[in-house]
């Protein structure tokens, strides 16, 4: 498994933050705010894999790009960036030595907190 930073998703997230499409929620809220598996499936059915990919800062080039396995480190709910998601993914990325993703999340969090 070779997870790398999904640059397209990072650009998408920054654009959403600049457009103030941000939920400035608390650190531990992500477990309640994260999309359910059914919501993810509905989003994929409606919008497709390319759009799904735009909501994850991690991408695994070794996985089939039309499976959820290929995408990790979600940062939002398919409508807004969630501050709690960015905090969560920064922590998880750091724990698993995905330094590039961790650093991108930190910069994204700074951008959110500037707004």
Q: Per residue in 47-98, pLDDT tens?
A: 999 999 999 999 999 999 999 999 999 999 999 999 999 999 999 999 999 9
Exposure string for 88-101, b = 16+ CB within 10 A, e = fewer: bbbebbeeeebeeb
Question: What are the start-end ranges of the E strands in 1-115?
Answer: 3-5, 22-23, 56-60, 71-74, 81-82
CA distances from 76 to 62, 108, 115 (A): 24, 12, 17
Number of domains in the chain: 1
Q: What are phi and psi of 80, to 5 degrees?
A: -140, 155
Nearest-10 Cα torsion for 96, 98, 101, 103 = 100
Q: Say whether pTM exceeds 0.85.
A: yes
| Containing structural domain, residue 98 | 3-114
């Amino acid at each position: 498994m070779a997870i790398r930073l999904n640059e397209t998703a990072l650009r998408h997230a920054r654009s959403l933050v600049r457009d103030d499409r941000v939920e400035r929620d608390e650190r531990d809220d992500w477990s309640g705010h994260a999309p359910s598996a059914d919501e993810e499936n509905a989003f994929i059915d409606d919008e497709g894999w390319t759009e799904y990919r735009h909501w994850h800062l991690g991408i695994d080039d070794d996985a089939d790009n039309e499976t959820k396995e290929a995408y990790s480190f979600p940062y939002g709910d398919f409508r807004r960036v969630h501050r709690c998601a960015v905090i969560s993914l920064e922590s998880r990325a750091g724990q698993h030595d995905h330094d590039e993703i961790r650093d991108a999340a930190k910069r994204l969090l700074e951008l959110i907190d500037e707004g």
